[in-house]
Amino acid sequence: MSDMDLCARLTAGDLDALADAYDQHGPYVFGVAVKVTGSQAYAEEITQNVFVALWERPLSYDPGLGSLRGWLVSRALHESALRSKVG
């Protein structure tokens, strides 16, 4: 399934689309978060926050600007950086 199709489904409120996005990208996002934070617990929280943000604001991802995976990882890196500053 293309990122554009997935985005359209998310925008329409299709909960299965969120599950599909998580299945496709969740392990990668989690892996990046673990690598950056060094903590599985923080990585789980970050991964959850990233996918909640996608669900709550699907239009914040623009398929014309890059891949969904890239957007998700960018958000995870941002959250990881915030986590590092907080402690």
> What's the confidence (pLDDT) of residue 85?
63
- Range list of H helices, the chain: 3-11, 15-37, 40-56, 68-86
Which segments in the chain show pLDDT lower than 70? 84-87
Per-residue confidence (pLDDT) for residue 81, from 0 to 100: 81
Q: At what angle are helices 68-86 and 15-37 packed, to 10 degrees? A: 50
Question: Is 0.85 topped by the overall pTM?
Answer: yes
